[in-house]
Structure 1
Amino acid sequence: MTQISGLKFQVEQTHLQNLKKAEQALGTEATGPSFSERIATGLKDVAGAQNDASKLAQDYELGLEQDLSKVMVSQQVSSLGFQLTLNLRNKALSAYKDIMNMPV
């Protein structure tokens, strides 16, 4: 009986050591910007692209910008960024609804 208790103790100790190693590994790999910081940065980038496209279009209309292709590419980049943001929002909302509808 004491051998079984001793083995059980050793298994528990090994399990605790493995858990500590896993926690340490996760702690060192989890450095960097958080999810909310990445979202905020992405939204700022999309807003910046939209502002740049608007400014280039206005400059073209006023005759300050001569390169129409530059204006069009800027507008397309802005449009793609907005579409990506919109699709990410829709996917996140759909995932949230799925989680909320899960039975407990």
Structure 2
Amino acid sequence: MTSIMPKIQDTQNSVKELQEKIIRQSKETLGEQNVTAEFVNSLTNAIQNVSDTQMKSAELTKNFELGIENDLTKVMIQQQLAGLGFQMTLNVRNKVLSAYKDIMNMPV
């Protein structure tokens, strides 16, 4: 579970860099209008939720290993939720990057 945390951090950093790049280019295109949209906030909240789920999963796993938590089903369900959330985040990131590349390669 600890090997996933650096991947989550890398994903969060990639998304943050992409957000900043989109905002910067939008400001150049639209002038100094406020381009910080609800999309950025929604994306940030979604990433934070995935991170929280990963942390909860890691904590439940640790507690199970130490004998504090004795409900294996609860631990396994939380691990599956964390894994699915992480996979979804990676897929969204890949789609956003692909769309960004497609837009950047469009002839003007």
TM-score normalised over the length of structure 1: 0.68
Q: Decide which of 72, 82, 85 is 1:81's aligned counterpart.
A: 85
Q: Which runs of 5+ in 2 are unaligned?
A: 1-36
Distance across 1 between alignment mates of 2:60 and 2:90: 23
Q: Which has the higher contact order (CA 8 A, sep 6+)?
A: 2
Q: Match of 1:61?
A: 65
> CA RMSD for the aligned pairs?
1.0
Larger Rg over CA atoms: 1
Distance across 2 between alignment mates of 1:64 and 1:53: 14
Q: Which runs of 5+ in 1 are unaligned?
A: 1-32
TM-score normalised over the length of structure 2: 0.65
Q: Residue 99 of structure 1: CA displacement?
A: 0.6
What count of residue pairs does the alignment treat as equivalent? Answer: 72
User: Stretches of 4+ moved more than 6 A in 1?
Assistant: none
* Percent of matched pairs sharing the same residue: 51
Give the 3-state SS of the residue equivalent to 2:68 in structure 1. Answer: coil
Q: Residue 64 of structure 1: CA displacement?
A: 0.2
Q: Decide which of 38, 41, 45 is 1:37's aligned counterpart.
A: 41
Distance across 2 between alignment mates of 1:82 and 1:54: 13
Q: Decide which of 32, 47, 70 is 2:51's aligned counterpart.
A: 47
